[in-house]
Amino acid sequence: MKLINKESGRKMEPIVSICCTTYNHEKYIADALDSFLMQKTSFPIEILIHDDASTDNTALIIEKYEKKYPKIIKPIYQVENQYSKGKKPLIDFIIPLVRGKFIATCEGDDFWTDNKKLQKQVEFLESNQDYIMCFHKVKVVGTNKKPLGRYIGLSNEGSKEISVKDAATGGVVHVSSRLIKSDFYKKPIPKWIDNAKHGDYAFALYITAEGKVFYIDEIMSAYRKGVENSMMTNFRENYSKENDIKYHLNRIETLNMADGYYNYKYHDDIKKVNLISEVIIAILEKDYSVSARNKYMNYIKQNGILSFIKIVLLKGNPLLAETLIKLKRKV
């Protein structure tokens, strides 16, 4: 990796700033850092990593990498946990230090799998100046890195520009897959995103509404499922019908805030996505009122009877649904 301009002798600024947030990831942080350092690029990079006062050995592991790669790895060590104080580590502490033209994000318990990931994404954005972000398919793995046969991204649609509806559906844009123009990330974030209960989901809505976003149908990173302290692990381990209902109410609230912010420009798409959450809430509440039945019928007209049956199984009888999914994977 060339960091010096031979003609001028001056140090070159990084083209990509890799932004990583971590907390108590001593089992995983080395995988993340190794996956950043294995990138084969024709341009310089920097790695900005924020440790939010980990109580394990995460900071010590980062220090070892910092000593080995002092020109690339730039850590931020907190002595008090900032997230618990309402701070956003990425926005409040990392982004102000970014020097790169592009920002790549990845959390400390996830990792990249393709050593040309950054090169491919930078080449796309450089060749398509009207796009502000590109992202890619992500495989889901266990804590031992074993693939679980699941993926995050669009299903069977190939590489394409994504819409607000795609982002609103959720589960499409994973943090480890994003490459964004840093100028966009440095703009003031609208208040509705700060107020949103699901920040990554709200940000995906925001960026697709603000500019063109492209999906690359290639697996180039991994999301590690089952990690301690992660939001999704906590959600699953503390699962209850009440928490699931709360999750979907928060999602509806986020979509309605976005709808109002954009003067109902995307109202029809948002209404269709909200219907999914409304149907799930009705199923969880075992609601058979006229209003609920109308929602069920509208959902079936919109998405088909098989999709409705799938939701009924997943939310009405999760044990049976899980058994059927396992059987399907074995076939």
Among residues 96, 102, 106, the alpha carbon closest in space to that of 20 is found at 106
103 and 146 both lie in a single domain: yes
145 and 244 both lie in a single domain: no
198 and 243 both lie in a single domain: no
Each residue's pLDDT tens digit, 280-329: 999 999 898 999 999 999 999 999 988 888 888 888 765 555 555 555 55
Residue ranges of the chain with per-residue pLDDT less than 50: 1-10, 235, 331
Q: What is the pLDDT of residue 239?
A: 66
Q: Could you tell me if 50 and 20 are in contact, meaning their C-beta atoms sit under 8 angstroms apart? A: yes
8 in any annotated domain: no
Q: What is the pLDDT of residue 5?
A: 42
71 in any annotated domain: yes
198 and 110 both lie in a single domain: yes
**Residues linked to residue 75 through DSSP beta bridges, in sequence order:** 49
Q: Which of 195, 224, 253 is the last residue of a domain?
A: 224
Q: What is the pLDDT of residue 329?
A: 55
169 and 253 both lie in a single domain: no
Count: domains in the chain: 2
Q: Which of 224, 248, 263 is the last residue of a domain?
A: 224
127 and 206 both lie in a single domain: yes
Q: Could you tell me if 185 and 88 are in contact, meaning their C-beta atoms sit under 8 angstroms apart? A: no
Torsional sign, CA 319, 149, 208, 95: positive
Each residue's pLDDT tens digit, 238-274: 568 899 999 999 999 999 999 999 999 999 999 999 9
265 and 322 both lie in a single domain: yes
233 in any annotated domain: no
187 and 246 both lie in a single domain: no
Q: Can you give the length of the chain in residues?
A: 331
234 in any annotated domain: no
Among residues 19, 163, 2, 155, the alpha carbon closest in space to that of 91 is found at 19
Could you tell me whether strands 102-107 and 16-22 are parallel, antiparallel, or unpaired per DSSP bridges? Answer: parallel
Non-local CB neighbours of 45 within 8 Å, separated by 6+ positions? 1, 14, 15, 16, 17, 18, 36, 39, 72, 100, 118
265 and 310 both lie in a single domain: yes
Predicted TM-score of the model (pTM): 0.87
What whole-number distance in Å separates Cα of residue 20 and Cα of residue 105?
A: 6
Q: What is the pLDDT of residue 315?
A: 82
Query: Which H, E and C letters describe the chain, residue by residue?
Result: CCCECCCCCCECCCCEEEEEEECCCCCCHHHHHHHHHCCCCCCCEEEEEEECCCCCCHHHHHHHHHHHCCCCEEEEECCCCCHHHCCCHHHHHHHHHCCCCEEEEEECCCEECCCCHHHHHHHHHHHCCCEEEEEEEEEEECCCCCEEEEEECCCCCCCEECCHHHHHHCCCCCHHHCEEEHHHHCCCCCHHHHHCCCHHHHHHHHHHHHCEEEEEEEEEEEEECCCCCCHHHHHHHCCCHHHHHHHHHHHHHHHHHHHHHCCCCCHHHHHHHHHHHHHHHHHHCCCCCHHHHHHHHHHHHHHCHHHHHHHHHHHHCHHHHHHHHHHHHHC
230 in any annotated domain: no
What whole-number distance in Å separates Cα of residue 273 and Cα of residue 196?
A: 17
Q: What is the pLDDT of residue 318?
A: 58
**Residue 101 lies in domain:** 16-224
201 and 276 both lie in a single domain: no
CATH of the domain at 194: 3.90.550.10
Among residues 254, 314, 304, the alpha carbon closest in space to that of 280 is found at 314
156 and 268 both lie in a single domain: no
7 in any annotated domain: no
1 in any annotated domain: no
Q: Which of 224, 259, 286 is the last residue of a domain?
A: 224
What whole-number distance in Å separates Cα of residue 6 and Cα of residue 116?
A: 24
What whole-number distance in Å separates Cα of residue 143 and Cα of residue 121?
A: 27
148 and 68 both lie in a single domain: yes
187 in any annotated domain: yes
Neighbours of 329 (CB within 10 A): 10
